[in-house]
Amino acid sequence: MNEKSEVKNVLVTGSNGQLGQCLQKIEENHSKIDLFFANSTMLDITNKDKLEQFFNDKRIDYIINCAAYTNVEQAEKEPELAFMVNAEGAKNLAQICKKHNSTLVHISTDYVFDGMKRSPYTEDDITNPLNEYGKSKLVGERYIEEILDKFYILRTSWLYSEFGNNFFKTILKKSNTEQELTIVTSETGTPTNANDLAEFILSLVKNNSQKYGIYHFSNLGEASWYDFAREILRVSGKLDSIILKKTDNYPTFAQRPNYSVLCKEKCLRSFNSDIENWKKSLQKNIKTFQKR
């Protein structure tokens, strides 16, 4: 892809989330991009008037939508709120992008699939979300497809980073206070370093691409939550100091797909991307994570 010469103005919504914070961390590494970071207090994507006011004040070339309702368990209890943010919020962003000729980069999820498949899901596979969170994200995707031509929907999975609340940080924290951990083996997906996703997004924005559409981006390989926990403990040097047990039945309120590995071939082919294996990416960043 050839780099455009002009500076791009980019709005990042949901900037207090872990992906938003990863984008802030690497911002200075990317020239020719001016990023405006807005958390939910500064800019509520469910408020059309606030969005319009923001666009009237600034010329925005891209929106990177990191704003989302991501509490899978709580979404079962308050689906209206999940749909307001993940579906109606996405619709509002799509409409404002269409009006101002901006490009939308929207983050979606592996939970749009039901997990019945036993090989990596492609972008063309049939969606069938099992929980309210997945349903709300799928409706958001469909709004964007209906309204916009210039969009990227990036489905990802099992995001972790040094920021926010995530499985990686939970395992590290518990390894300091508990002698035994029991982790589920019945779900298979791909742990994805949010820093890798952030780098991919900014390279997508920075370069002159018009290959719009839905893409899957996660790290390479696959794992159960038990596999992920074991690798976290191994690379952090704590595997020998804690008892790690398996279970195939960990009760949750929300139903989750048993298999949600995403196929990255379209992304690799379209953007000549260099996507790391999840174990290599975890090992590369473990020192950064442990310092926080």
Residue 234 lies in a domain: no
Residue 95 lies in a domain: yes
Confidence band (pLDDT; 50, 70, 90) for 291? low
Structure confidence at residue 123 (pLDDT): 98
Instruction: Give the integer Cα–Cα distance in Å for 268 and 290.
Output: 30
Residue 132 lies in a domain: yes
Given 62, 69, 111, 133, the catalytic residue? 133
User: What total number of domains does the chain contain?
Assistant: 1
Structure confidence at residue 292 (pLDDT): 61
pLDDT tens figures, 24-56: 998 776 678 889 999 989 999 999 999 998 888
Write down the pTM of the prediction: 0.93
Residue 242 lies in a domain: no
The CATH number of the domain holding residue 48 is: 3.40.50.720
Structure confidence at residue 2 (pLDDT): 45
What share of the chain in percent tops pLDDT 70? 97
Structure confidence at residue 1 (pLDDT): 42
Residue 86 lies in a domain: yes
Residue 241 lies in a domain: no
> What value does the CA radius of gyration of the chain take, rounded to a whole number of Å?
19
Q: In terms of residue numbers, what domain contains 134?
A: 8-166+192-221+260-277
Structure confidence at residue 286 (pLDDT): 80
Residue 24 lies in a domain: yes
133 a catalytic residue: yes
Q: Taking the C-alpha atoms of 151, 157, 160 and 163 in order, what is their torsion angle to the nearest 10 degrees?
A: 30
Residue 254 lies in a domain: no
